[in-house]
Amino acid sequence: MQGPLIESLARQGVSRRTFSKYCATLASMMALSPVAGQAMASALAAAPAATRRPSVIWLPFQECTGCTESITRSHSPTIEGMIFDMVSLDYQETLMAAAGFQAEEALHTAMKENQGKYLLIVDGSVPLALEGAYSCIAGRTNLELLKEASRGAAAIVAMGSCAAFGGLPHANPNPTGAVAVSDIIKDRPIVNVPGCPPIPVVMTGVLAHFITFGSLPELDALGRPKAFYGETIHDRCYRRPFYDQGKFAKTFDDEGARNGWCLFELGCKGPVTYNSCATTKWNAGTSWPVESGHGCLGCSEPDFWDAGGFYRALSVPAGPLQMVGAAAAVGVATGAAVSFLNRAKKRAAKAGHETTTLADLEK
């Protein structure tokens, strides 16, 4: 792929107009200024594919390949897929043709040639237990690989909830001692793109931002791009009016469910989940979990697996109230003990009572 990006896009049947529209959409989706759309378009279009294509290295750790599956659903032939092609993806185990020694060779060559400039994408958590033996690639632990690869990275994208927050492997009791990328790497800019998996356009959006501006987008307190994780699912949910009216589906097949009422009582975690599923939707804008009739699991939030159960409403206890029985027994026992003390005090007062006689008063 030689020449500027825009030419290679034209060869693939993407018009300049479509490309501009994509950039404007992406810019507006990320809440950038209108000028940013143009800047993004010119930066991407001018990127001479052969010389300046940013190198991207994608390291898979303790993961399920769901994030890779998701990014490949970046509904081709629209432009998201194209942009992804336009970076130089030098190492991605699932997508690359090379395997074994060749794959390792590609990784090390890319790291050497793009020292300090490549974008490191990590999906999966990093196991620390048993000295990291739970997950190894080419005989080396994930921890070792991450430390080595991060040294030459311009920035790191922690793709998916496992890399961002530890995700599923980090769930109680966390047998592998899984941690997030940000728990290990402290000296490189990290952007967290959580989700199980993240929305394809969110992944490509972050990459496009990096390519255009050479920097990471504005992040929230959890290191997530504000453009995509700025609002809760609940706030953007099309079923929100039913919540406000107090109309809830009680089961997955009752009248409320058929009428498309709010899924809060069925355990929807939309109110505490920051993600853009409700606006960008999934599968080329076809639908998204709540639209398909299932509550939000809260997959882009830390420890979503341990947040009290997927089917328990947010307003109900996350765990059993085990102390109530014992507390009641102790309460009654304490009350009884205190009442005995009180009665003893009363008796003592009665016994110690001195009657006053007329003679006493006349003294």
Residues that bind other proteins (CB under 8 A): 222, 232, 234-235, 243-246, 248, 264-265, 271-272, 274, 298, 301-304, 306-308, 312-324, 326-328, 330-332, 334-336, 338-339, 342-343
CB of 241 to other proteins, least distance (A): 10
CA distance 357 to 363: 10
CB of 160 to other proteins, least distance (A): 17
Between 210 and 305, name the residue whose CB sits nearer to other proteins. 305
Which of 250-259's residues contact partners 24+ apart within 8 Å by CB, and which partners?
252/293, 252/294, 257/293
Cis previous bond, 320, omega within 30: no
Angle, helices 34-46 vs 16-29, to 10°: value is 130
Between 118 and 304, name the residue whose CB sits nearer to other proteins. 304
Secondary structure of residue 141 in the 3-state scheme: strand
Helix or strand holding residue 80 (H, E): helix 79-86
Helix or strand holding residue 44 (H, E): helix 34-46
Q: What are phi and psi of 76, to 5 degrees?
A: -65, 145
Between 175 and 335, name the residue whose CB sits nearer to other proteins. 335
Which candidate, 268, 283, 122, 124, places its Cα nearest to that of 199? 283
Neighbours of 115 (CB within 10 A): 13
CB of 49 to other proteins, least distance (A): 41
CB of 235 to other proteins, least distance (A): 7
Question: Which residues are 248's β-sheet partners?
Answer: 262
Between 73 and 236, name the residue whose CB sits nearer to other proteins. 236
Secondary structure of residue 131 in the 3-state scheme: helix
Between 214 and 331, name the residue whose CB sits nearer to other proteins. 331
Q: What are phi and psi of 177, to 5 degrees?
A: 65, 40
CA distance 124 to 179: 9
Between 84 and 264, name the residue whose CB sits nearer to other proteins. 264
CB of 317 to other proteins, least distance (A): 5
CB of 263 to other proteins, least distance (A): 12
CB of 258 to other proteins, least distance (A): 20
Between 50 and 318, name the residue whose CB sits nearer to other proteins. 318
- The label of the residue with tokens 């390949």 reads 65
Between 34 and 173, name the residue whose CB sits nearer to other proteins. 173
Mind giving me the DSSP string for 165-198?
A: H-TGGGSTT-TT-EE-HHHH--SS-EEEE-SSS-
What's the Cα-to-Cα distance from 104 to each of 99, 150, 172, 360, 361, rounded to whole Å?
8, 16, 33, 108, 108
CB of 125 to other proteins, least distance (A): 16
